[in-house]
Amino acid sequence: MFFIHSSSIYFMIGWFSTGRDKAARDLLEYAVRKGIEISFVFCNREKGESEESDKFIDLVESYGFDLICFSSKKFLPELRKKNKKEWRILYDEEILKLIPHKDLNVLAGYMLILSPLACDTLNMINLHPALPDGPKGTWQEVIWELIRSNAKETGAMMHLVTKDLDRGPVVTYCRFSIDYPDLREDFENLLKFRSFEEIKKEGHPLFYKIREEELKREFPLIGYTIKAFENKEIEIKNKKIYSHGKEIRGYDISERVEREVKMLSQ
């Protein structure tokens, strides 16, 4: 466990990441480019545990953010094997002692499921790669379900983290079509397979094309969501989402996201 301290900033945002891949670094770099003020970064890995997370920690240090590392791998490993729920509570109890409680905490590639204690104590938002009421699970599971159901559109959402996995109150979301000629041809090609399990086993270009379209929108969605909090367009009160004083069920920012996707593609 270690800390690196920098100067304080005015808007209190905590950034949680496992730093397990390049996407975690890319997202942090995107946030910095967008001028998002990050108060501290929490990582559940320490130096030496992974080459990728070491790169992430180096990046955080280069920006001078307050950095708090507390290894989940090293924390009570035997208890984690025997009773993951109890372990999760104890681990989060330690986190709550280490971090300053901020107005908003962003899960940005944080690979641990949070305990009810953390969900109740902190205002945390997380990205889920589906529309509100869309498929649950990992991004891989979401895409396979879209293929299985022959979906015509999909999207992504930022939601408040609660004990109900991937079903906390929706903060923001964007939607986009996957019903256009290139992708529809791939959907039609699936008819040659005898079963959905065979499709999954063989793999299919459609899977990667949908993922590519999703990734184009994830960073803008996260960036605009945080900016909306900074600008008081959105607020969290008693674990509910409000916009301009009224409770909402998700703030549709599809147009903003699509403008940035179009701009980045030029």
- Candidates 72, 71, 47; CA nearest to 59 is 47
Q: Write the DSSP assignment of 17-75 as a string of letters.
A: E---SHHHHHHHHHHHHTT----EEEES--TTS-HHHHHHHHHHHHHT-EEEE--TTTS
52-66, 102-116, 202-216: which is most confident: 52-66
- Candidates 79, 107, 94; CA nearest to 18 is 107
| Over residues 172-197, mean pLDDT | 80
Residues forming beta bridges with residue 159, ordered by sequence position? 126, 170
Place of tokens 């040659």: 192
CATH architecture of the domain 1-122 equals 3-Layer(aba) Sandwich (3.40)
CA distance 213 to 158: 17
Is the Cβ–Cβ distance between 96 and 70 less than 8 Å?
Answer: no
Choose between 207 and 77: higher pLDDT: 77
For residue range 215-232, list pLDDT tens digits in order. 899 999 999 999 999 888
What the block records as the tokens of 250 is 């998700």
Record the pTM.
0.85
Choose between 31 and 264: higher pLDDT: 31
Q: Is the pLDDT of residue 120 over 70?
A: yes
| Over residues 192-204, mean pLDDT | 67
Least confident piece of the model among 5-9, 82-86, 157-161 = 5-9
Predicted pLDDT of residue 101: 76
- pLDDT grade for 8, boundaries at 50, 70 and 90: very low
Predicted pLDDT of residue 11: 61
CA distance 256 to 56: 29
Is the Cβ–Cβ distance between 236 and 168 less than 8 Å?
Answer: no
CA distance 154 to 53: 30
- pLDDT above 90 covers a percentage of the chain that reads 64
49: Cβ–Cβ under 8 A, 6 or more apart, which residues?
71, 73
For residue range 149-173, list pLDDT tens digits in order. 889 999 999 999 998 776 789 999 9
Predicted pLDDT of residue 9: 42
CATH 3.40.50.170 maps onto the chain at 1-122
3-state helix, strand, coil in the chain (%, to 5): 45, 20, 35
